[in-house]
Amino acid sequence: MANDQPCTAEDGAHSIGVCYGRVANDLPSDDQVVNLFHANGIYKMRIYDPNESTLQALKASDIDLMVGVPNENLQALSDPSAAKDWVQRFILPYSSDVKFRYIVVGNEIKYNDLAAQYVLPAMQNMYDAIKAANLQGQIGVSTSIEPSLLGSSYPPSSGSFSTNASPYIVPIVQFLMKTGEPLLANIYPYFSYVSDPDDIKLEYALFTSPGPVVSDGQFKYQNLFHALLDALYAALEKAGAPSLKVVVSETGWPSDGGNAATVENARTYYHNVIDHVKSGTPRRPGEAIETYLFAMFDENQKGPAETERHFGLFSPGMQSKYQITFN
């Protein structure tokens, strides 16, 4: 799917995906998971590595797939031949039956991480390998960032990448502008709230504020999700990428294990974020935001924080925690 096309009604109807993480020892089979996606009308999935059992289960499933390249593989993929081999092993055998949407080259790499130097070369090599396979119009190549790359984010119009992060992220942004693919971003109002509960109200993080909380010139913000996303859009404008799309590659709220981590708050957050991504942000109105909820299941081997084990929309026994309508 070309990602520089206008959002259609169908795209808006299917703008919600779910992340399928597997850091657990009690999860259902991949076939059961794919059936659970279908049963709940979820048509987009993010996985964090090219697990071949998952790819087999997704054949002929009509689920759009975002597949990750683990951070520890980035150095190897800075070699063009390794990227070609990766595509030949994990993409080509499945490309006629699995609806690959994006290859995510690294997740939440910070500018000072050892892997940072390999992200752009690995993206370029993966793009070239996809192009050589004649799949560049179908499968996008990007990376997934998190908001710590911003040096300023309040008010949203002041959003900019930090001086230290700019040499890392701006060339990536320029590459995405050239290829016409979106930047992926993990956006978590929960973590912003728990890190500064004195200044950020719970209602602002949960989309339940009765009126605007932040006034930023012509833009009014009634929820933190829109504010965080628009700070990133403002940073992209300053980086010379005013038209670059952002896909929210993770967002969620834990149901246990920490401050404000309750089933009721998580239910409120998920219901509201699904509703609010249908119509864009104050800075980019009128266009559905492709968004992936984190995560499909509680993952009992995640950590170190206890909250990390309680982001599931479903229990490992496949019971829904929140009775969500996904699209």
Distance from C-alpha of 97 to C-alpha of 288, rounded to nearest angstrom: 27
Burial of 226-238, coded b for 16+ CB within 10 Å and e otherwise, reads bbbbbbbbbbbbb
Q: Tell me the pairing of strands 160-161 and 150-152.
A: antiparallel
What is the per-residue DSSP string for 191-240?
Answer: HHHHH-TTTS-HHHHTT--SS-SEEETTEEESSHHHHHHHHHHHHHHHTT
Looking at the chain, which runs of residues are DSSP E strands? 16-19, 44-47, 64-69, 99-107, 140-145, 150-152, 160-161, 183-186, 214-216, 219-221, 246-251, 291-294
Give the list of residues 6+ apart from residue 7 with CB closer than 8 angstroms, or none: 287, 288
Q: Is 72 a catalytic residue?
A: no
Choosing from 146, 237, 250, 264, which is the catalytic residue? 250
Q: Is 250 a catalytic residue?
A: yes
- End-to-end alpha carbon distance in the chain: 20
Q: What are phi and psi of 288, to 5 degrees?
A: -60, 140
Catalytic residues: 108, 250
